[in-house]
Amino acid sequence: MRKRQGILIVLDGLGDRPNPELGGKTPLESAETPNMDYLASRGMCGNTYPIAPGIRVGTDVGHLQLFGYDSAEIYSGRGPLEAYSAGMKMMPGDVAFRGNFATIDDDYTVIDRRAGRIRKGTSELAESLNGMILEDGTKVLVKELTEHRVAVVLHGEGLSDKVTCTDPGTAAEGSRLVVPSALDESRSAERTADNLWEFTQRSYNILSDHPVNKERNEEGLYSANAIITRGAGLERLMPTLKDLYGIRAACVAGDATVGGIAELAGMDYFTDESFTGSFDTNLTGKALLTLRLINEQNYDWVVMHVKATDLAGHDNIPVAKKEMIGKIDTAIGLILRKIDLNSCYITITADHSTPCEARDHTGDGVPTIIAGGDARRDIVTSAGESQFMSGCLNNLTANDIFMLQMDLIGFTEKVGS
Amino acid sequence: MRKRQGILIVLDGLGDRPNPELGGKTPLESAETPNMDYLASRGMCGNTYPIAPGIRVGTDVGHLQLFGYDSAEIYSGRGPLEAYSAGMKMMPGDVAFRGNFATIDDDYTVIDRRAGRIRKGTSELAESLNGMILEDGTKVLVKELTEHRVAVVLHGEGLSDKVTCTDPGTAAEGSRLVVPSALDESRSAERTADNLWEFTQRSYNILSDHPVNKERNEEGLYSANAIITRGAGLERLMPTLKDLYGIRAACVAGDATVGGIAELAGMDYFTDESFTGSFDTNLTGKALLTLRLINEQNYDWVVMHVKATDLAGHDNIPVAKKEMIGKIDTAIGLILRKIDLNSCYITITADHSTPCEARDHTGDGVPTIIAGGDARRDIVTSAGESQFMSGCLNNLTANDIFMLQMDLIGFTEKVGS
Contact by Cβ (8 Å): A93, A234? yes
Question: What is the pLDDT, as a whole number, of residue A170?
Answer: 67
Nearest CB among B390, B404, B416 relative to A75 is that of B416
Contacts of A17 in chain B (CB under 8 A): 374-376
Q: What percentage of chain B reaches a pLDDT higher than 90?
A: 82
Q: How far is CA A34 from the centre of its chain?
A: 28
Contact status of B396 with chain A (Cβ, < 8 Å): yes
Nearest CB among B1, B379, B404 relative to A360 is that of B1
Contact status of B220 with chain A (Cβ, < 8 Å): no
Q: Nearest chain B residue to A15 by CA: give it.
A: B376
Strands B301-306 and B366-371, sheet pairing: unpaired
Contact by Cβ (8 Å): A366, A55? no
Say whether pLDDT at A92 is over 80.
no
Is A61 close to B404, i.e. CB distance below 8 A?
A: no
Mean pLDDT, residues A186-196: 94
Contacts of A51 in chain B (CB under 8 A): 415
With helix as H, strand as E and coil as C, how does B252-301 read?
ECCCHHHHHHHHHCCCEEECCCCCCCCCCCCHHHHHHHHHHHHHCCCCCE
Q: How many CB atoms lie within 10 A of CB A124?
A: 12
B231: distance to nearest CA of chain A, Å? Answer: 33
Contacts of B415 in chain A (CB under 8 A): 51, 55-58, 61, 71, 75
Question: What is the pLDDT, as a whole number, of residue B379?
Answer: 96
Beta bridge partners of A43: A371
Contacts of A231 in chain B (CB under 8 A): 417
**HSE-CB for B103 with a 13 A CA cutoff:** 16
Q: Which CATH architecture has domain A5-76+238-408?
A: 3-Layer(aba) Sandwich (3.40)
Contacts for A238 with CB less than 8 Å, ≥ 6 apart: A69, A74, A264, A265
Q: Which of A381-395, B79-93, B155-169 is modeled with the greatest confidence? A: A381-395
Q: What are phi and psi of B411, to 5 degrees?
A: -115, 25
**Position A20, amino acid:** P
Contacts of A78 in chain B (CB under 8 A): 416-417
Question: What is the pLDDT, as a whole number, of residue B174?
Answer: 87
Question: What is the pLDDT, as a whole number, of residue A171?
Answer: 65
Contacts of A238-242 with CB under 8 Å at 24 or more apart are: A238/A69, A238/A74, A238/A264, A238/A265, A240/A265, A240/A266, A240/A267, A241/A67, A241/A68, A241/A265, A241/A266, A241/A267, A241/A301, A242/A266
Is B415 close to A231, i.e. CB distance below 8 A?
A: no
B342: distance to nearest CA of chain A, Å? Answer: 12
CATH number of B5-74+239-408, picked from 3.30.10.20, 1.10.630.10, 3.40.720.10, 3.40.109.10: 3.40.720.10
Q: Nearest chain A residue to B44 by CA: give it.
A: A389
Give the lowest-confidence range in A158-162, A171-175, A277-281, B379-383. A171-175
Is B403 close to A362, i.e. CB distance below 8 A?
A: no
**Which letter does DSSP use for residue B403 in this model?**
H
Q: Which of A155-164, B62-71, B255-264 is modeled with the greatest confidence? A: B62-71
Contact status of B135 with chain A (Cβ, < 8 Å): no
Contact by Cβ (8 Å): A184, A162? yes
Is A389 close to B378, i.e. CB distance below 8 A?
A: yes
B3: distance to nearest CA of chain A, Å? Answer: 10
Q: Nearest chain B residue to A20 by CA: give it.
A: B374
Is A360 close to B2, i.e. CB distance below 8 A?
A: yes
Residue of A362, A388, A392, A400 to mutate, interface with B, max B Cβ within 10 Å: A362
Structure confidence at residue A136 as a pLDDT band (50, 70, 90): very high
Give the lowest-confidence range in A152-161, A228-237, B50-59, B62-71. A228-237
Selection from B172, B175, B131, B167 nearest residue B149 by Cα: B167
Give the lowest-confidence range in B8-12, B157-161, B270-274. B157-161
Structure confidence at residue A91 as a pLDDT band (50, 70, 90): confident
Q: Round to the nearest angstrom and report the end-to-end CA distance of chain A.
A: 14
Is B374 close to A364, i.e. CB distance below 8 A?
A: no
B394: distance to nearest CA of chain A, Å? Answer: 9
Alpha-carbon span B407 to A307, nearest angstrom: 23
Contact status of A82 with chain B (Cβ, < 8 Å): no
Question: What is the pLDDT, as a whole number, of residue A45?
Answer: 98
**HSE-CB for B413 with a 13 A CA cutoff:** 7
Q: How many CB atoms lie within 10 A of CB A154?
A: 26
Selection from B405, B389, B414, B411 nearest residue B15 by Cα: B389
Is A53 close to B404, i.e. CB distance below 8 A?
A: yes
Helix, strand, coil proportions of chain A in percent (round to 5)?
35, 20, 45
Q: What percentage of chain B reaches a pLDDT higher than 70?
A: 98
Q: How many CB atoms lie within 10 A of CB A146?
A: 12
Pairs of CB atoms within 8 A across A/B = 93
ipTM over 0.85: no
Contact status of A19 with chain B (Cβ, < 8 Å): yes
Domain ranges of chain B: 5-74+239-408, 80-234
Q: Nearest chain A residue to B406 by CA: give it.
A: A54
Is B400 close to A52, i.e. CB distance below 8 A?
A: yes
Torsion sign (Cα): B29, B35, B41, B45: negative
Nearest CB among A17, A52, A363 relative to B374 is that of A17
Q: Which residues 100-129 in chain A show a CB within 8 A of chain B?
A: none
pLDDT in tens, B115-148: 999 989 999 999 999 999 999 999 999 999 888 9
Structure confidence at residue B171 as a pLDDT band (50, 70, 90): low
CA distances from B388 to A185, A249, B412 (A): 52, 41, 26
Mean pLDDT, residues B66-92: 79
Give the lowest-confidence range in A143-147, A178-182, A251-255. A143-147
Tell me how long chain A is. 417
Contact by Cβ (8 Å): B364, B14? no
Contact status of B375 with chain A (Cβ, < 8 Å): yes
Q: Nearest chain A residue to B377 by CA: give it.
A: A386
Is A389 close to B376, i.e. CB distance below 8 A?
A: yes
Contact by Cβ (8 Å): A146, A122? no
**Position A161, amino acid:** D
pLDDT in tens, A30-82: 999 999 999 999 999 999 999 999 999 999 899 999 999 998 877 666 677 77
Contacts of A355 in chain B (CB under 8 A): 374
Q: Nearest chain A residue to B391 by CA: give it.
A: A389
Q: Nearest chain A residue to B417 by CA: give it.
A: A58
Nearest CB among B375, B408, B415 relative to A55 is that of B415
Contact status of A390 with chain B (Cβ, < 8 Å): yes
The backbone region for B258, taken as left when phi is positive above 0, alpha when psi lies in -120 to 50, beta otherwise, is alpha
Beta bridge partners of B102: B226
Nearest CB among A359, A363, A386 relative to B407 is that of A363
Alpha-carbon span A89 to A151, nearest angstrom: 12
CA distances from B26 to B53, B325, B368 (A): 19, 11, 15
The secondary structure of A110-155 as a DSSP string is EEETTTTT--SSHHHHHHHHTTEEPTTS-EEEEEE-STTEEEEEEE
Over its C-alpha atoms, chain A yields an Rg (Å, rounded) of: 23
Alpha-carbon span A262 to B219, nearest angstrom: 82
Say whether pLDDT at B238 is over 90.
no
Question: What is the pLDDT, as a whole number, of residue B236?
Answer: 66
Selection from A232, A252, A249, A229 nearest residue A240 by Cα: A249
Structure confidence at residue A263 as a pLDDT band (50, 70, 90): confident
Nearest CB among B377, B400, B416 relative to A54 is that of B400
Residue of B1, B378, B392 to mutate, interface with A, max A Cβ within 10 Å: B392
Contacts of B378 in chain A (CB under 8 A): 386, 389
Strands A301-306 and A5-11, sheet pairing: parallel
DSSP H or E stretch at residue A334: helix A318-338
Q: Nearest chain B residue to A75 by CA: give it.
A: B416
